[in-house]
Structures are given as structure tokens and as C-alpha cells.
Amino acid sequence: MRFLFLVLASACTPHLTSEREEVTGLNWEPPENTWTSNEPPATLRAEGYAQGDVPHDFRMMDQHGDEVSLWQFYGSVILLDISTMWCGPCQQIARHVDETWKDYREQGFVYLTVLPEDTEKNLVDTDDLNEWADAFGINAPILADHEGYGYAVEPTQQWPVLMLIDRKMTIAADRLTPSDEAVRDAIESEL
């Protein structure tokens, strides 16, 4: 009876699989865009979304209609801000994005905003990205999450999610407090 229970329990366990090829530094291809781009080392492998992990790469369209890869910013300190357009705290942190980016970008810092949902909780398009950029005066990359990357990082959808990624593409902080002070303290500790 015990054996039967184990067989039935393991048969009902969901296993998430992806049909996409695993991206490593060895098979990574640079996208064509005007943002800074550095090739990651061949040994770079995605691990997960927790502190100490190398996050999975993505390919998303920015507010200019260009494809952007997370890994193209290897060698920079990256703040990955996953926000939604309807979220009040997301809008509050967006007010500081451009100033923060401009204050630190000469030191090798990149501020990436990823938007999985518009104000009606639908997928965003280029118009939405430009609306967000205009509303908050953002010149840093803003990306449309059509891949569901944000949901993989935060399945409970507690927005915003602010992750600091170090120069070796390792997550230095997986959940920052959504305040300008906390963000700046984290950035300064990595620069």
C-alpha cells in the first residue's frame, strides 16, 4: 500500500518544462539595440531568481521597439524593476528611476524596468511603454514582458519586485524595499 501511495503521489507532482533552448554564455547572441552591450562569459548559466543565483536571460522589446537582453548588461550593476502600470507603489518608485539611473550610470549602472501589465492588467505594448516613460520622465530601458518573466520571478504577483544584480550577473538582493532610499543604498553597496 505504501508503494502504491508513493507512485500515485509522484504521478501527480507537476513538473515545469520549457521548450526553449537553455541560454548559457556559450550560445548567447547579442540583440541589436542602442543600449550598452557586453558579451557574458561562456561559462554563465542561469540558475534562478533568489539571492546568489544568476537570473535567467530574457528577450523583450523596449520603448523604442528594439529587442533587449538582460545578459547584454553583463559587467554592469543592474536594478531590475518589475512593476505594473496599475500598481501605486510601482508608480511611486517610477518617479525616481531616471534620476537614479543618471546619478549612477557613469559608474556602470543600468536601471531596467519590466512591465508585465498595463492599467487594465493586460499585456503592455510599445504605446504603454512610451506612456510610462513620458509619465515619469524615464529615458532608461523600459521593457514589455510578453514572456511572463515577471510572473516567473514573482508568482504571487506582489509588485513591484526590485532585484539588484551585480557585475557578474549574480542577484545581490532579490527583494528590495520599494523606496528610493533603499534602492540607492543597495546600488551604492555594489558599486
DSSP conformation letters of 68-86: EEGGGBTTSEEEEEE--TT
Helix (H, G, I), strand (E, B) or coil at 103: helix
Q: What angle do CA 123, 124, 129 make, to 5 degrees?
A: 165
Grid cell locating 151: 510572473
Helix (H, G, I), strand (E, B) or coil at 172: strand
One digit per residue, pLDDT tens: the chain, 191 residues?
443 333 333 333 333 333 445 778 888 999 999 999 999 999 999 999 999 999 999 999 999 999 999 999 999 999 999 999 999 999 999 999 999 999 999 999 999 999 999 999 999 999 999 999 999 999 999 999 988 999 898 887 889 999 999 999 999 998 999 999 999 999 999 99
Q: What angle do CA 146, 91, 139 make, to 5 degrees?
A: 70
Res 124: pLDDT:
96
Identify which of 183, 172, 188 has the alpha carbon closest to the alpha carbon of residue 49: 172
Res 21: pLDDT:
58
> How far apart are the C-alpha atoms of 121 and 90, rounded to whole Å?
14
Helix pair 180-190, 97-104: axis angle to 10 deg: 20
Cα Rg of the chain (Å, integer): 18
